[in-house]
A and B are shown apart, each in its own frame.
Chain A
Amino acid sequence: MREAEPGPVIIVDGLTARFGEETILEKISFEVYRGEILCIVGGSGCGKSTLLKHMIGLLRPAVGRVLVGGVDITAADDEQVNLIRKKIGVLFQSDALLASMTLGENVGLPLDGFAGLAPRTVQLIVRMKLGMVNLGGYENHYPAELSGGMRKRGGLARAIALDPQILFFDEPSAGLDPVNTAELETLIRGINTGLGTTMVIVSHQVELVLRIADRVMMIDSEEKGIIATGTPDELRLSASDPRVRNFLFRSDTERGEGRA
Chain B
Amino acid sequence: MKMTVSEPGYTLTHSEEGGGLVLTLSGRISVEDADRLLTDMEAVLSEQRVGSVQIDLADVSYIDSAGVLTFFRLEDQIRQKGSDYGYTHVPSRIRGIMALIGRAGLEKPPLRSERTHEGIIETVGDAGFKVYCDFKALMTFLGDLLAAVVYLSGHLREVRWGDVLFYMRRTGAEGFPIVGLISLLIGLIIAFMSSLQLKQFGANIYVASLVSLAIVRELGPIMTAILVAGRSASAYAAEIGTMTINDEVDALVTMGFDPIRFLAVPKLIATAIVLPLLTLYSDLFGIAGGLIVGVVGLDLTPYTYLQESQRTITLFYLLSSLLKALVFAFVIAWIGCQRGFQVRGGVAAVGAATTSAVVTSILLIVIVDSVFAVVLHYVG
Quick one: given A141-B112, A144-B345, are A191 and B32 in contact (CB under 8 Å)? no
Chain A: minimal CB distance from B90 (Å)? 12
A86 CB contacts on chain B under 8 angstroms: 1, 3
20 contacts between A and B (CB under 8 A): A83-B3, A100-B346, A104-B110, A117-B31, A117-B32, A124-B73, A128-B102, A128-B106, A131-B101, A132-B102, A137-B108, A140-B113, A142-B346, A145-B345, A162-B64, A187-B100, A191-B100, A194-B93, A194-B94, A196-B93
B96 touches A193 (CB 8 A): yes
Of all chain B residues, which has the CB nearest A193? B96
A contact residues, range: 35 or more
A142, B99: Cα distance in complex, Å:
28
Q: Are B105 and A130 touching (Cβ within 8 A)?
A: yes
B-contact bits for A3-24, CB 8 A (1 contact / 0 none): 1000000000000000000000
Q: How large is the interface on B (under 10, 10 to 19, 20 to 34, 35 or more residues)?
A: 35 or more
Residues on the B chain within 8 Å of A144, using CB: 245, 344-346, 349
Residue B114 CB within 8 A of the other chain? yes
Q: Is B111 an interface residue (CB 8 A)?
A: yes
Interfacial chain A residues near B104, Cβ < 8 Å: 131
- B65 CB within 8 Å of chain A: yes
Q: Is A195 at the interface (CB under 8 A from chain B)?
A: yes
In the assembled complex, A30 has its CB within 8 A of some CB on chain B: no
Query: Which listed residue (A111, A127, A132) contacts B100, Cβ 8 A?
Result: A132
Residues from chain A with Cβ under 8 Å of B30 in the complex: 163
Once the chains are docked, how many angstroms separate the CA of A188 from the CA of B32? 23
| Shortest beta-carbon distance from B104 to chain A in Å | 8
Given A131-B102, A193-B93, A121 contacting B35 (CB threshold 8 A): yes
A111 and B32 alpha carbons, distance in the complex (Å)? 9
A173, CB-defined interface residue at 8 Å: no
Bound-complex Cα distance A86 to B1 (A): 9
Contacts of B69 in A (CB 8 A): 124-125, 128
Q: Which residues of B contact A116 (CB under 8 A)?
A: 32, 35
Q: Does B364 contact A (CB under 8 A)?
A: no
